[in-house]
Every structure is written in C-alpha cells, then in structure tokens.
Structure 1
C-alpha cells in the first residue's frame, strides 16, 4: 500500500509541474526513478495518465480525472499533518505566498521578518506576480491582492489602507512636451506600461473624477512587469508612469517627479491577504496571516 501512495504522489507531482525534472527535484528522487514509478502506476491501472513529448508533459483525460480525485485528499492529509505541528512550540513548514512587488515591499516583507526570526523552522516562498493567480491550482497557501481582486469564495482579511494610483513624470520630460490636460491626451505621450502575465495584456490606466470612470490604454517605448523599474524609468525622463501614489510621493516632494492629471487619481480598496475557505489552515499559515494583519491599523473615523 505504501508503494501505491508513493506512485500516486509521484504522478500528482509530475502532473502539476508538467515536467519530470522539476517533479523529481521536488520529491528528492532521480528523474529515471520517477519515470519508472509513473510507468508502473500506468501499467497497474491499464491507463495512460500522462502524454509525454520531448518538450512537455501533460495529463491525459484519465490523468486529469485521477488528479482531480486524489489531489484534494492529499491536501487534506498535508493540512492535518501541518495542524499537528501546532502542538509543538516551533511551527515548521513552507508557506507559499503570491503577491505583487509593491505589496511585498510595502506590506508583506517588513511584517514577515520578525516572524521568521522568531520561528527558524518556518520557511517562506514569496513570489511576485501581477497576474490574477489561482492560488488553489498553483498550490499557493495565501495570496495578497487589492480587495476587489479577491475571489468571493476566499477568506480575505484587509492588511493595508486604500491605495491611490497616480500619474507622474520627471520635470525634464514635462518641459519637452505640452502637459496632458485631459485623459484623452495621454495617448499623445510616451507612457511606461506594466504587463499583466496571466492575460498577456498591458494594464489599462484606470482614472476617476467624481462619478466619471475611464480606462485609457497608452503606448510608449517601455514596458515592464515591475513597478520599481517603472519608477526608475520615469525618474530618468522616459515618460509618464501610472504607479501607487505612496511609492512616488517622496520623489514628488523632492522635485524629482511631478503629478500629472492629479484630479483624475483613482483610489482602490486596499490590499488583503486571502486563502481558500474550504482548506483547513496550518499553524504556519495562521502565523503568517496574523503577522500580516497585525501590521495594519485602520484609521479612526
């Protein structure tokens, strides 16, 4: 029976990673041994579970059915084992977090540092990604996104105040071009874009003035997937950038950047930490969520 479970774990890991080499490294076995394990499972079941090519591995229809049947059960076992670790004084394990570079620097990483020093056996994998990641499918424990980006079936806890987005440019850039006086005139400027990987699209610039909401798609020489590079490019005079206001306020106060269309800056619901409602959280995940939400102090009204 133990070998049967090992076969299933091997298949499940390959099916998720879609790569024998990565799956073998994750399981701590050789690629050839893992390949034999999966082949033995296929032989025993009399079904082909994986389609193999020289470049990729993907589950067959039968493999997808098996994966959807066994994955939730193994996750329940893992969660139960993690919860047992809570009986000790030293929670252990790895917590995988998907967030964005701005949220990681502004809210997540500063609050995790004391926790990591307190619990040396706790490991954190922090992945910065502007895509709207499916944390269940991609096996993340928690995500951190703006409140209106969190799916309704998730448990979500606010960890930051509302976030205002701003348009900025350097004085040198603005002196060389007429300023944009309306959102429509942004299309006449060299704008610095942010790419969204999951949609393979550029982030539209969402603007708001009173009850008017607009989305503007802009063009320019530069596209990044990192807001800190966008800040650097705007400081260097390469054009207008659409960025979190908190991130660039110090540069504006120092005269290195200027606001553009300030009366159109929109405000969004602040960042939340979220995780699946149907999954029992491990002690490690609970500690991380507590650390992130403890750092947020709601403003008194």
Structure 2
C-alpha cells in the first residue's frame, strides 16, 4: 500500500456515504475540488472507476460497491482502534510497568498502590524491584523510580519523595549492655552494621552533620550487608548499630524493637525521583500514577542534604 492510500480510501467511503462531494468535503474538512482530485487520483492508481459523477449527482459504480463491502469493516475496525487509543489517553487503562529500587518500592510505591489500583480499576501494575541501574526503555518499562542519578540526561525526572533523614538505630538489648553513643566519635566503641553496595564496592562511610559541622566516619563491626532491610534486621537482632533511613526504621522505632541514637547528628539526603522518557504522549496510566505520587510526596526541604548512601557511588 502506498503512503496516503488509507486516507484516500477512507475519503472514498465518506463520499459513498454522502453521495455528495460538497457534503463529504465538509465532513473531511477539505474543499470539494481537492476531494474530487483525490478521487480521480485514487481511480487512476487502481485503474478502476469507483464513482459516477455529474454536476448534480454522485453514485457508486459496481466496482465501487464491491470495494465498499471490503472497506467498511476494515475502516470501522481502524476507527475503533483509534478511538480506543484516544480513550486510553483520557482514561488510565492497560499495563503500567515500573522498575524501582528496593527503597523506592517500599517507601514510594507500596504506600499508594492500593489506592491507585482501586482508583483506576482498568490498570494493571507490574513492579520489578532491583538495585542495578538498567535501560528502562530497552527493557520495556514505562518509568523507573530511584535516585535521580539513575535517570538518563534526556529523561524527565519528577520528585516523588522529599529529602529523607538518616536514622542511627540499635536494639534495646544491645544498649542494655553498652552506653548509647552521644557523638559520632563514640561509635568507635561500638559494633556497627556495615554497608557495602556491591561485592567490589568500598564500605560505606557514615556521614553526620550538626549546626554546620559535618563528619564522615569509617565504622567497624562484625556484620557487613548490601541491603538496607538486612541492616535493620541485624540491628533488631542485637548485632550492632545500623545506619539507615528514617522511613525504613519508623515502624520498628514505634514498636520498640529499635532505639534511635545520634538524632541531633542525623543528616538528610536527596530524595527519590520517578523518571521516564519524553514529555509528549505520556500514557494516561503513568500520568495518573505520577500525579498520585507527587500529591503524596514530602514538600519539606531540610537544610542539610547529603548524597543518598544507598545510591551508586560517583
């Protein structure tokens, strides 16, 4: 099929329906002379007369009727498909695929996914959790959520969680045997749950700040993990003090399984972002998801903001 044939065939169906070049031209928003020229070119390419026309009337030839019998279902199917696409842009529909870090999945997606799916019952949410940066376009994802440095330069990044505070925590049974630290230097006398992002990455140094003073310390301990959840679990089990995120430790602090220390020294780091390719033709499901996350995000911006300790090293 040549480029433009589909439009010309659709125009032929309109002329056949209206049996008037003037009425068909008005429906197609073209001039009658331009539409007549289009029909003559179509007939010339096909080598068949489709329409009888005089200055007063238009009728369909026998060959034209046979073509119409085949064209009408196809044109109707195409029109329906285009209408469905338009409806999808107006109403969230279909599958929404998100790639998120463990932190983003737990603190950004999980708090809203029940409300999102109940609000938009025609959407299916697929969430893949991973720490390795990936090409979300090549892997078929609509968006990713994580530290801002995961977004490629040509992507749109939308903040979905404000800067988040660090929490230094330990179990009550751990502190029953040891005096809680009052300054970062006191950590030298404690077992600390250390964090290594990857097998070949260096151990993460703990950062602190208070009243403009900033400290960065290498800590010691008998447990090393590469997952924030496991750092908290080690602390709950009394294996040492963990350096984690306030949002991840919150439920264990409320339950009394963990005790927070060095709170006046705890800094914040830049929050989390949803990133996706391009601004144009954003799927309605993704737009609705972004709007819901943005409405739920934290607006406050602490004055001391550090690099995300659980993001990749620069």
TM tier, smaller = 0.5 to 0.7
Report how many residues are paired.
Answer: 222
Deviation at 1:163, TM superposition (A): 0.7
| Partner deviation per Cα, 1:191-227 (whole Å, 9 max, x = no partner) | 2234424974544423222333343343433344443
Structure 1 gap ranges (5+):
1-80
Deviation at 1:133, TM superposition (A): 4.4
Q: Distance in 2 between matches of 1:211 and 1:150?
A: 30
Q: Distance in 2 between matches of 1:230 and 1:83?
A: 51
Q: Distance in 1 between matches of 2:131 and 2:149?
A: 14
Seen in structure 2, the aligned counterparts of structure 1 residues 117 and 176 have a Cα distance that, compared at 3 Å, is same
Deviation at 1:243, TM superposition (A): 1.5
Deviation at 1:292, TM superposition (A): 1.6
Q: How does 1:205-220 map to 2 (within 5 A)?
A: 205-220=206-221
With normalisation by structure 2, the TM-score equals 0.57
Q: Which residue of 1 aligns with 2:95?
A: 94
Q: Which moved more, 1:175-184 or 1:121-130?
A: 175-184
Q: Which residue of 1 aligns with 2:85?
A: 85
Deviation at 1:265, TM superposition (A): 0.5
Seen in structure 2, the aligned counterparts of structure 1 residues 222 and 115 have a Cα distance that, compared at 3 Å, is same
Deviation at 1:286, TM superposition (A): 1.9
Q: How does 1:161-200 map to 2 (within 5 A)?
A: 161-197=162-198, 200=201
Seen in structure 2, the aligned counterparts of structure 1 residues 109 and 253 have a Cα distance that, compared at 3 Å, is closer
Q: Which residue of 1 aligns with 2:127?
A: 126
CA contact (8 A) 1:130 1:196 kept: no
CA contact (8 A) 2:197 2:227 kept: no
Structure 2 gap ranges (5+):
1-80, 302-314
Q: Which moved more, 1:171-180 or 1:104-113?
A: 171-180
Q: Which residue of 2 aligns with 1:156?
A: 157
Q: Say what the alpha-carbon RMSD is for the aligned residues.
A: 3.8
Q: Distance in 2 between matches of 1:83 and 1:186?
A: 64
